[in-house]
Chains A and B, each alone.
Chain A
Amino acid sequence: MPNLNDILITLPEFYLVAAACVLLLADAFLPAAKRVWIHWLSILVLVVAAYLVVKGQPAGSVTAFNGSFIRDGVAEILKVFALLSTILVFIYARPYLIDRKLFVGEFYTLTIFAVIGVMLLVSAGSLVMVYLGLELLTLSSYALVALNRDSKLSSEAAIKYFVLGALASGMLLYGMSMVYGATGTLDLVQLHQAIPQSTMPHLLVFGLIFMIIGIAFKLGAAPFHMWIPDVYQGAPTAVTAFIGSAPKLAAFGMAFRLLETGMGDYSQHWQLMLAVLAVLSLAIGNLVAIVQTNLKRLLAYSTISHMGYLLLGLVNAGPEGYSAAMFYAVSYALMSTAAFGVIIALSRAGFECEEIDDFKGLNQRSPWMAFLMMLALFSLAGVPPMFGFFAKLLVLQAAIHAGMMWLAIVGAVFAIIGLYYYLHVVKVMYFDKPVEGTEVRLQSDFTLRLALSLNALVLLALGLYWGPLLSWCKQAFVG
C-alpha cells in the first residue's frame, strides 16, 4: 500500500494529473468564447507544479513506491526546466493556434500529459517506470504532431513518428527484458548491485545495446534520427517547439537513469557505443543541415548534432560528464524554444515563415526580431559569449577528461562546419534585401513578445553569468 509519504514525494506528478483532468473537463464545459481561460489556467497549473517541485525538494535523494520513483537533484533540475520551457511554449503557441483555428483544449491537456511523462521518466527508479513515462510522453506527442489533422504533412509526420517510435519502444522493451532476465530485477538501484554478480554478462550487453537504441531514438541521435526532420517540419511550429525542448531533457534523464543508475558498472561498454553515436550524430546533423532550405528542417538537423554534443558529455560517465550533459540539455531546451519562438512570432495564418528565404532582410523590417534570432543562432552555433558556447565548452572538457581527445577534436571540427549554416541564416536576415511584395507582420501578442525577448536575452545573460546554473547542475550529481 502506498503511504502518505509516497504521495508527498510524488505530489507534483499527482497534482499535474489531477489538474490535467480538470482542464479537460473545463474545456468541455466552457463556452467557446471563454476558451482562452484554458490557456491561462494551463500556465498557472505549470507554474504551481514548478513551485511544488522546488518547494518539496528533499535534501539528497528519496524514493517512493518501493524505489520505482526517485526524487533527487537531477530530477528537480530537469523538471523545473521542462516545466519552464513548456510554459514558454504555451505562451508562444496561443496566437499561433488561434490564427490557424487549432486553439483547442486538447493541445493543452496533451502537452501537460506529455510533461507528466517527462517528469515520470526523469524520476524513474525502475525499468517499468522508464517505460511508463516514455510511453506517456510519446503517445501524447504522436497526437500533438497530428493536431492539425487536415494537413497532409502533419499526418505523414505523425504516422512516421508513431511507426518508428513504436519500433524503438519495442527495442527498448526487448532490451529491458534481457536485462531483467540476466539479473532478475526491474529496480534500477538493485539492478546496479546485481550486475557484478550476474552470470550472464553477454545477455546483459545485448540488453544494453537494445536499450541504447531506445535512448538514441528518443534523443534523436544518428543513426536513429530519421523521424526528427519530418516531425520537426511537419508538426505545427508550436508543437515542434515543445518537442524540441522538454522531451530532450527527458531523453537525457532517461539515459542517465538507465545507463548510470542502472548499468553504471558497464560504462566501459556503453561509453564507446555512445561515442560512435555522438560522431555519427555530429556528422549527419551538421553536414545535412547545410543543404536545408526550410528553417524548421534545418533546426531539426541541428538538433541531431546537438544531441551528439550532449552524448559527448555522457561519454565521460562521471559526475562531471553528467552535469555537463545536463547543462547542455538545459541550454539546448532554452535555445530551441527561442529559435522556434521567433519563427512563430513571424508567422501568421497562411504564412508559416519557415523557409529560410522568408527571413530575407529581416533586420530591415524588424531589427528586434532579427536580433533575438541572431542571439539564438549564435548560441546554437556555440560562439562566445553566448550560453551555447559554455555548454559546448563543458562537454568538450568532459570528453577530454574521459581520455577521448579524438572525440573532442571531432566535436570541434563539426562545430566549425555547423557554424556555417547558422551564419547562413544570420546572413539572410542581415545582409540580404527583403523580397519585394512580401511583408513581415509580427504577432502583436504582448505576452509572446515579452516572453520571447526574455527567452533570447537569457541566452546572453546566462552566457555572461552561468556559474550558478553550473553549480546547481554539479551539485545534483554529488550526493
Chain B
Amino acid sequence: MFNHLLSLLIWLPIVGAVPVLLAGSSRPNTARWLSLLMAVLTFAVSLFLIPQYNADAGGMQLAESHMWIASLNVHYSLAVDGISVALILLTTLVGILVIVGAWEVIQDKPHQYMAAMLVLEGLMIGVFCATDALLFYVFFEAMLIPMFILIGIWGGPRRVYATLKFFIYTFLGSIFMLIGLIYLYLKAGTFDLHTLATLPLTLQEQSWLFFAFLIAFAVKVPMVPVHTWLPDAHVEAPTGGSVVLAAVMLKIGGYGFLRFSLPITPDASAHFAWFVILLSLIAVVYIGYVALVQEDMKKLVAYSSVAHMGFVTLGVFIAFMLVRDLGNTDAARLGMQGAMVQMISHGFVSGAMFSCIGVLYDRLHTRLIKDYGGVINVMPWFGFLYVLFAMANCGLPGTSGFVGEFMVILASFSANPWIALFAAFTLIIGAAYTLYLVKRVLWGDVTNSHVAEMKDINGRETFVLGVFAAMVLFVGIWPEPLTHLMDSSVNQLVQLLAIHKV
C-alpha cells in the first residue's frame, strides 16, 4: 500500500465518486453516507503520509513513476515534499468538512454534488503530487470541470455568469502555460519537472516562460489585476464550493509558483521579482480597502482572500530579493516559510469564514450585511466561533493568521523596510474590514424579526466550525509541527533560488 500511497490518495475519491453517483437521486442518504465514507477513508489514508514522509530528509519522497505515453516520454510520476504533504492534509480534511457541511443543505441532486466534490478532491491531490509537468497540467485543468458544475448547478442567482467567467479565466491563464511547457518539452525531451529545473535557459527564454507561468498562476492565486473572477465565483458558489475554492484551489496558484516559476525560471523570477512584489502589495493594500466597502459578506471575504494571498506571493518573491541582492538566506527562508504557513492558515481561516457565512445563509437566505445585526444575541455559540475566525483573519497573535503574516513581514523588513511597512498595513486594514463586518453582523441589538428567529448552530455545523477552530488555534499556538514538516523542503527551494541558470 505504501508504494502506491499517492496513487491511492488520488484515485480513491475519484473512483469513490462512481458508487455515489450510482446511488442516484432516489437514495440521497445512501449517497451522503457513501461520500462521507470515501472522504473519511481518503483522510485516513492521507494521515499515513505523516509517518511515511521523512520531514528531516526533505526532498521528493514516496515517488511513483510509470511510463504513461512512451512515444512522448511522458510519465505518470508522483512524489511529495513537505509542502505538498501539508497541502494534501489540508485538502483531505477540508474534503470531509465540505461534505458534512453540505449534508442537509444540498437537497437538489445531492449525489451529483457529493460526487463532484469527491472528484474535485482527488484531482486537487493529484495537482499536489504530480512531478511530471503534463500530468500536473492535466490535473490542473481537469479540476475546472467539477468546479464549473458545482457553481453552475448549486450556485446563486448569477451562477451561470460566475461559473463561465471562472472557467474561461482559468483556462485562459493556463493555456499559455501549456505552450510554455511544450516549448520546454521540445528543448528537454521530457516533461519531468526535475529535469526541466536543471535545463539551462537564456534570460530571454526564461522571461517568456516566466510570464507564461505567471499568467497561469496569477489567475489562480488570484493576483491583482486578474482577480476579478474570484469575487463573482465566491459569491455565487454554494458554501462548499466557496470553501474548497478558498481553502485549497487558491493555494494551487501559490504552489505552482514553487514548482514551476521558481525552479525552471529562477533568473527571470529574480529579474521580475519587483513586479510580483508590487502586485502583491497592491493586493494587500488596495484590495483591503476594496473589502472595506463591500455589502455582501461573501464578497468581503473573497476580497480579503485576495489580500491574504498577496502575502503568499510576497513571501515567495521577497525571497528572491533577499537571496540574490542581499545574500540573506536566513531571511529568505523565513519569508518562504511564512508564505507556506500563510497558505495553510488561510486555508483554514477562509474555509471557516465561508462556512460561517453558509450557516447564516442557510437561515436567512441572504448574504447582505444589512439584513443581519445582533446575531450574537440569538446565536451565542456561532458568534463565539465567528469572532474567533474573524480574529484569525485579522492576524491576531495566537491564531494561525498571525504566524505566516508575521514571518513574511519580518522577512520583508530585511529586504526593504518600505515593503514591510506596506505589508504591515494589512494588520490595520484587515482588522478594519473584519471587525467592521463583525460589528454589523454580530453586535448590537437584534435588527429584525427574521434574525430573532434564527436558531443557534446544530451539531453538524458545530462539528465543521469546531474542526476549523481547532486547526486555527493549533497552527497559531504551536506552529512547530507544521513548520518542521515543511522546513527542509523550504530550505531546498531557497537553495534553488540562488542557482544561476544563465
Do A and B assemble together? yes
Report if B482 contacts A (CB, 8 A). Answer: no
The digit string for B166-201, where 1 denotes a CB below 8 A from any CB of A, is: 011001100110110011011000000000000000
Q: Bound complex: CA of A424 vs CA of B152, how far in Å?
A: 11
Q: How far is the CA of A304 from the CA of B144 in the complex (A)?
A: 26
Q: Tell which of B141, B148, B168, B179 touches A408, judged by Cβ atoms closer than 8 Å.
A: B179
Taking the complex as formed, is A384 at the interface, i.e. its CB lies under 8 A from any CB of chain B?
A: yes
Q: Is the CB of B152 within 8 A of A427?
A: yes
Q: Is residue A416 within 8 Å, beta carbon to beta carbon, of the partner chain? A: yes
The secondary-structure label for the interface of chain A is helix
A428 (CB) vs chain B CBs: closest residue: B160
Does B179 lie within 8 Å of A400, measured CB to CB? yes
Residues of chain A within 8 A of B178, CB atoms compared: 393, 396, 412
Residue in chain A with minimal CB distance to B138:
A384
Instruction: Evaluate contact between A396 and B164: CB separation under 8 angstroms.
Output: no
The residue that A400 contacts in the complex, of B159, B160, B186, with Cβ under 8 A, is B186
User: How many Å lie between the Cα of A426 and that of B149 in the bound state?
Assistant: 9
Does A423 lie at the interface of the complex (its beta carbon under 8 Å from any beta carbon of B)? Answer: yes
Contact B175 A416 (CB under 8 A): yes
> B68 contacts which of A378, A419, A467 (Cβ < 8 Å)?
A467
Q: Once the chains bind, are B172 and A416 in contact (CB under 8 Å)? A: yes
Residues in A370-408 with C-beta less than 8 Å from chain B: 378, 383-385, 389, 393, 396-397, 400-401, 405, 408
Residues 51-97 (chain B) with a chain A CB within 8 angstroms: 67-72
Is A40 positioned at the interface, with any CB of B under 8 Å from its CB? no
B142 beta carbon closer than 8 Å to chain A = yes
In Å, the complex CA distance between A159 and B300 comes to 60
* B69 and A466 form a contact (CB under 8 A): yes
A412 touches B152 (CB 8 A): no
Contacts A427-B152, A427-B164, A430-B153: A400 and B145 contacting too (C-beta < 8 A)? no
Question: With an 8 A cutoff between CB atoms, is A461 at the interface?
Answer: no
Q: List B contacts of A408 (CB < 8 A).
A: 179, 182
User: Would you call A409 an interface residue if the criterion is a C-beta within 8 Å of the partner chain's C-beta atoms?
Assistant: yes
Q: A423-B164, A423-B167, A430-B152 are in contact. Are A467 and B71 (CB under 8 A)?
A: yes
* Closest residue on chain B to residue A367 by CB atoms: B112
Chain A residue nearest in CB terms to B169:
A416
A348 part of interface (Cβ distance < 8 Å)? no
Chain B neighbourhood of A405, CB < 8 A = 179, 183
Is there contact, CB below 8 Å, between B72 and A470? yes
| Across-interface contacts of B69 in A (CB, < 8 A) | 466-467, 470
Q: Are A412 and B71 neighbours in the complex by a CB distance under 8 Å?
A: no
Are B168 and A419 in contact, with the CB atoms below 8 A?
yes
Contact A419 B138 (CB under 8 A): no
B137 interface contact, C-beta 8 A: yes
What is the CA–CA distance of A416 and B169 in the complex, to the nearest angstrom?
9
Of A367, A385, A424, A431, most buried by chain B (CB within 10 Å of CB) is: A431
Q: How far is the CB of B60 from chain A (nearest CB, A)?
A: 23
Cβ of B78 to closest chain A Cβ, rounded Å: 15
Taken together as a complex, chains A and B put the C-alpha atoms of A470 and B112 apart, in Å, by 34
CA distance A427 to B164 in the complex (A): 9
When chains A and B are docked, how far (Å) is the Cα of A363 from the Cα of B152?
12
A444 to chain B, nearest CB (A): 20
CB distance from B172 to the nearest CB of A (A): 5
Q: Is A471 close to B, CB under 8 A?
A: yes
What is the bound-complex CA distance between A470 and B67, given in angstroms? 14
Q: Assuming A401-B186, A470-B69, is B167 touching A419 (CB within 8 A)?
A: yes
Is there contact, CB below 8 Å, between B144 and A393?
no
Cα(A409)–Cα(B67), bound, Å: 29
A431 near B160 with CB under 8 A, answer yes
| A383–B145 touching, CB < 8 Å | yes
Q: Is the CB of B182 within 8 A of A419?
A: no
Q: Which of A367, A427, A466, A471 counts the most chain B CB atoms within 10 A?
A: A427
How distant is the Cα of A409 from the Cα of B212 in the complex, in angstroms?
Answer: 11
Supposing A400-B183, A430-B149 touch, asked if A412 and B138 sit within 8 A by C-beta, the answer is no
B138, A385: Cβ atoms under 8 Å? yes
Which listed residue, B142, B152, B167, B176, touches A384 by the CB 8 Å rule?
B142
Closest to A383 in B: B141
Known: A396-B182, A419-B167. A383 touches B144 (CB 8 A): yes
- Asked if B70 and A423 make an inter-chain contact with CB atoms under 8 angstroms apart, the answer reads no
B142 adjacent to A467 (CB under 8 Å)? no
Task: Let me know if A195 is at the binding interface, CB within 8 A.
Answer: no
A412 pairs with B176, CB closer than 8 A: yes
Residue numbers in A under 8 Å from B137 (CB-CB): 384
Q: How far is the CA of A419 from the CA of B163 in the complex (A)?
A: 13
Which of chain B's residues 394-436 have a Cβ closer than 8 Å to chain A? Answer: none
Q: Chain B nearest CB: distance from A247 CB in Å? A: 28
Instruction: Specify the chain B residue showing the minimal Cβ separation from A475.
Output: B71
When distances are taken between beta carbons in the complex, the residues of chain B under 8 Å from A426 are 148
Contacting residue for A393 out of B71, B160, B168, B182, CB 8 A = B182
The reply to whether A471 and B70 form a contact with Cβ atoms under 8 Å apart is yes
- Which chain B residues border A384 with CB–CB below 8 Å? 137-138, 141-142
Q: Which residue of B lies closest to A378 (CB)?
A: B145
Shortest beta-carbon distance from B211 to chain A in Å? 12
Residues of B within 8 A of A266 (CB): none
CA distance A435 to B279 in the complex (A): 47
Interface residues of A in 184-202 (CB under 8 A from B): none
Q: Which residues of B contact A412 (CB under 8 A)?
A: 175-176, 178-179
A420 interface hit (Cβ, 8 Å)? yes
B168 touches A396 (CB 8 A): no
Shortest Cβ gap from B397 to chain A (Å): 43
The complex places the Cα of A356 from the Cα of B175 at a distance, in Å, of 27
Who on chain A is nearest to B186 by CB? A401
Given the complex of chains A and B, what is the CA–CA distance between A365 and B482 in angstroms? Answer: 48
Name A463's closest neighbour in chain B (CB-CB): B138
Contact A397 B160 (CB under 8 A): no
CB distance from A156 to the nearest CB of B (A): 35
Q: Does A228 contact B (CB under 8 A)?
A: no
Closest to B140 in A: A384
Query: Given contacts A396-B179, A397-B186, is CB(A383)–CB(B168) below 8 Å?
Result: no
A360 within 8 A of B: no
Closest to B172 in A: A416
Q: Is A71 an interface residue (CB 8 A)?
A: no
Please give the distance in Å from B155's CB to the nearest CB on chain A: 8
A251 to B112, CA, bound (A): 41
* Complex-state Cα separation, A401 to B138, whole angstroms: 21
Min CB–CB distance B16 → chain A (angstroms): 17
Is A77 part of the contact surface with B, judged by Cβ < 8 Å? no
Q: Which of B112, B148, B182, B186 has the most CB of A within 10 A?
A: B182
Which residues of the partner chain B approach A383 to less than 8 Å between Cβ atoms? 141-142, 144-145, 171
List residues of chain B with CB within 8 A of the CB of A389.
138, 141
- Tell me which residues across on chain B come within 8 A of A94, comparing CB atoms: none
A474 (CB) vs chain B CBs: closest residue: B71
B168 near A416 with CB under 8 A, answer yes
Q: Are A397 and B153 in contact (CB under 8 A)?
A: no
- CB of A467 within 8 A of CB of B70, answer yes
Taking a contact as CB atoms under 8 Å apart, the answer to whether A415 and B175 are in contact is yes
Q: In residues 322-349 of chain B, which contact A (Cβ within 8 Å)?
A: none
* Residue pair B142, A385 in contact (C-beta under 8 Å): yes
Name the residue of chain B whose CB is nearest to the CB of A466: B69
| CB-CB contacts below 8 Å: B278-323 with A | none
Minimum C-beta distance from B74 to chain A (A): 8
Q: B25 — nearest CB in chain A belongs to which residue?
A: A367
Tell me which residues across on chain B come within 8 A of A420, comparing CB atoms: 164, 168
Can you pick out 14 interface pairs between chain A and chain B where the beta carbons lie within 8 Å of each other? A363-B112, A396-B178, A397-B186, A412-B176, A415-B175, A416-B175, A419-B167, A419-B168, A423-B164, A431-B159, A467-B67, A467-B69, A467-B72, A471-B70
Partner-B contacts on A (CB < 8 A): 363, 367, 378, 383-385, 389, 393, 396-397, 400-401, 405, 408-409, 412-413, 415-416, 419-420, 423-424, 426-427, 430-431, 465-467, 470-471, 474
Which 4 pairs, one residue from A and one from B, show the smallest C-beta to C-beta distance? A384-B138, A467-B69, A431-B152, A384-B141
With A383-B142, A393-B134, A420-B168 already in contact, 16 other A-B pairs whose C-beta atoms are closer than 8 Å: A383-B144, A396-B178, A400-B182, A405-B179, A416-B171, A419-B168, A420-B164, A423-B148, A424-B164, A427-B163, A431-B163, A465-B68, A466-B69, A467-B69, A467-B72, A470-B71
